Structure 1
Amino acid sequence: MAALAACSGNGSDASGGSDGSGKSSGSAAPTRQAGPAERLAQLMVTPAQVGGRSVEKPGEDYAFAASPSEVRLDKAVCAPLAYAMNQLPLGEPQADLTRVVKTDSMSDAPTYVTLTAYAPGGARSALSGLEKAVGACGAGFTATSKNAGTTYASVAAEQPTAPAGDERTAFKATLTVNGVTHALHTEAVRAGDVVAVYFSVNGMAIAQNRPSDAKPMPAVVNAQNARLR
């Protein structure tokens, strides 16, 4: 922070910007507040905080959609589930940031971390919408975009990795590809006006027609939750 200093009339050193009458004539520049996007970048976990795993920007070539507006659903109430499982922001965000955390092993499913910042009250509303969708979409739903289409056979609530934040929710979704069933796990944590969504899918197993049950890595979830406090 820069401070403006004024010299006193008697030639002695001055502090606090005295004008000789004992009153401060100087003013300090206000501290710049980080914007929503910058704040999320500061909150995102680093490789050192997740045991040396890589923390990367996900490739756009495999994105289901670029924005929530590109997603179409057979059941509108299920939209938050599709967004959460495709690294798209929930509700009405001010900013969002996604990174994918990977290990060196090709057999390990990566964990996607999506942080979203909201105006006051927005994060609570976003998480409420996700919880409502979990309860309403147990029989599954279909989501489509210009890039792909996915039918989820079922959705069920489950326990989050650990207590964290002000609110939290978690769910499991299943889908069948070429006759093989895959389970995908997602959890979301609200801390103030920020929501963190964790998601995992074993793309390698799906490509190889092997059953999979991909869960967000607990070490990643716990490390990111700790940064939200």
Structure 2
Amino acid sequence: MKRTALAATALSAAVLAGLTACGSGDSESDGDSGGKSGASATAPQKKETSPAERVAKLAVTADEVKGYEVEQPAADDEFVFAKSQDEVTVDKKACAPLAYAMNQLPLGEPRADLTRTAAKNGLANGLTYVTLNTYADGGAKTAMADLTEAVSSCGGGFTAKANGNSSPYDSVAAEKADGAGDESLAFKSTMTVLGATHTMHSAAVRRGDVVAVYFAVNGRAIAESRPSDTKLDTPVVRAQNAKLG
């Protein structure tokens, strides 16, 4: 059969295959003179945190969500739908942000991004992906606006393709957001694989110049052609939102 992107990613999860974030300091010298011989003192400046370091520090950890396994997806996972936005095409241009959000790709043009997976009970109930993006001024608001527009424009579904794989989504519908951060949204999507319908739930939260995207899927159910309706893991979402501030 022609595997879909989610089925492929899910299958890797089902067999427990491996599930990405990617200063300098200087000093100043101040001469102090006043009738005495010149004296200088050097004081090291505070090391500047890079965008990649920042999102890494913001990412939720297993210690913050007891009972969950929190991991970084393997960069060389053969079942990954796409490794960059450039590899993805959609039949409806407005739906591209949805394809990115549901395949752990960055939204818009972030300065840095990373993804973590959180699972409980050996993936029996599916897993929640958390993708963090940090932007230059205004980029986070634009990314949220584009994703919001995609949810409202793509209710009838769309198809995303990458690397010879096709992922057809039957529908997309907005859901009630939890009001976290400076702005938030939530939505669900459906797809049919070998006659079985799967519902995946997603959310996005912006706090300042950082956007967290959440996506829940039951890979085992997709691999076994069992219908599924996978909710986001609330403890994971709450813990990650709390770290955003």
TM-score w.r.t. structure 1 length? 0.88
2: CA distance between counterparts of 1:66 and 1:4?
42
Match of 2:64 in 1: 49
2: CA distance between counterparts of 1:196 and 1:130?
12
Q: CA contact under 8 A between 1:72 and 1:145: conserved in structure 2?
A: yes
Change (3 A) 1:24 1:152: farther
Change (3 A) 1:117 1:4: closer
Which stretch of the first structure deviates more once superposed, 24-33 or 168-177? 24-33
Q: How far is the alpha carbon of 1:218 from its aligned partner?
A: 0.4
2: CA distance between counterparts of 1:131 and 1:118?
17
2: CA distance between counterparts of 1:151 and 1:89?
20
1: CA distance between counterparts of 2:141 and 2:83?
24
Q: Deviations over 1:29-61 (max 9, x none)?
A: 221111000000000011010114111112322
1:97 to 114, 127, 131: 114
1:75 to 92, 114, 120: 92
2: CA distance between counterparts of 1:209 and 1:41?
35
2: CA distance between counterparts of 1:219 and 1:53?
9
2: CA distance between counterparts of 1:137 and 1:116?
23
Q: How far is the alpha carbon of 1:19 from its aligned partner?
A: 5.1
Q: Helix, strand or coil for the counterpart of 2:44?
A: coil
Matched, 1:163 2:186: no
Equivalent residue runs for 1:63-142 within 5 Å: 63-142=80-159
2:230 to 210, 214, 220: 214
Report the count of equivalent residues: 218
2: CA distance between counterparts of 1:25 and 1:149?
65
Match of 1:180 in 2: 196
Match of 1:30 in 2: 45
Q: How far is the alpha carbon of 1:20 from its aligned partner?
A: 6.0
Task: Tell me: higher relative CO, structure 1 or 2? Use CA pairs within 8 A at least 6 residues apart.
Answer: 2
Match of 1:62 in 2: 79
Q: CA contact under 8 A between 1:4 and 1:17: conserved in structure 2?
A: no
CA RMSD in angstroms comes to 2.2
Q: Which has the higher strand share?
A: 2
% identical equivalent positions: 52
2: CA distance between counterparts of 1:195 and 1:49?
19
Structure 2 unmatched ranges of 5 or more: 1-24
TM-score w.r.t. structure 2 length? 0.83
Q: Deviations over 1:164-214 (max 9, x none)?
A: 110111110000111111101110000110100000110100111111001
Larger radius of gyration: 1
Q: CA contact under 8 A between 2:28 and 2:45: conserved in structure 1?
A: no
